[in-house]
Amino acid sequence: MVRLISIALQPSRIPKCELGESCELDMRVWLTDIDLNFHVNNAKYLSLAQLGRVHYANQTGILKSMKKSGIGLVVVGAHITYHKSLALFSKYRLATRIVGWDDDWFYFEQKFEQYGKVATRVLVRMVFMESGKRMPTAKAALRLGLPNIAMKVNPEIAAKLDPVKT
């Protein structure tokens, strides 16, 4: 919780990110992040990824627009690929970027990087909410000052996050 608050309240002197750019956050693995194998717990990656998305929203100005307009952002799907463990006290970089949106969803890609290599990749599908109801992406983009066109999503990313159809 302390990390979340400190990231959300980062001062304006921190370099800003442009929409579509990767926004990076340097971090370290702490005792609260690990499992019995002394590396980041699989479930903890989702919490750490949230920190990266808050940082991204703060640095791009989306967070300020969301607060002003009363819009929330909710995760509706995630796909994680583990390549390498992050050990206790090791440093890593979390790179977050929006990789696109379509009529229904916003898509983020997040990479946990160490020594210039991807340790873990997280793909996230999100939706904007207002008053407990889902907002169409075009309406959310307009209200948040995002470009008025959909950023085409790589079909590979969309396929990994498609809901199961029954």
Those residues whose C-beta lies under 8 Å from the C-beta of residue 40, and which sit 6 or more positions away, are 29, 33, 34, 48, 85, 86, 120
- Number of domains comprising the chain: 1
CA–CA distance, 61 with 66 (Å, rounded to integer): 9
pLDDT tens sequence across 116-148? 999 999 999 999 999 999 999 888 888 888 776
Please tell me the predicted confidence (pLDDT) of residue 3. 66
CA–CA distance, 6 with 8 (Å, rounded to integer): 6
In a domain, 123, yes or no: yes
In a domain, 56, yes or no: yes
In a domain, 13, yes or no: no
Other C-beta atoms lying within 10 Å of the C-beta of residue 74? 9
The pLDDT-based confidence of 165 (bands split at 50, 70, 90) is very low
- What is the DSSP-derived secondary structure letter of residue 33? G
CA–CA distance, 10 with 122 (Å, rounded to integer): 24
- What is the DSSP-derived secondary structure letter of residue 32? G
Please tell me the predicted confidence (pLDDT) of residue 151. 72
Query: What's the CATH number where 28 sits?
Result: 3.10.129.10
In a domain, 78, yes or no: yes
In a domain, 15, yes or no: no
In a domain, 91, yes or no: yes
| Phi/psi at 120 (5° precision) | -150, 140
Strands (E) across 115-156 are located at 117-130, 133-134
The dihedral of CA 157, 158, 164, 166: what is its sign?
negative
pLDDT tens sequence across 64-90? 889 898 999 999 999 999 999 999 999
Please tell me the predicted confidence (pLDDT) of residue 166. 36
What is the percentage of the chain residues whose pLDDT exceeds 70? Answer: 87
In a domain, 146, yes or no: yes
Burial per residue of 138-162, b for 16 or more beta-carbon CB atoms within 10 angstroms, e otherwise: eebbebbebeeeebebeeebbeebe
Choose among 67, 47, 45: nearest CA to 57. 67
CA–CA distance, 27 with 25 (Å, rounded to integer): 6
The encoded tokens of residue 139 equal 């309406």
Rounded to two decimals, the pTM is: 0.86
Tell me which residue range forms the domain holding 74.
21-161
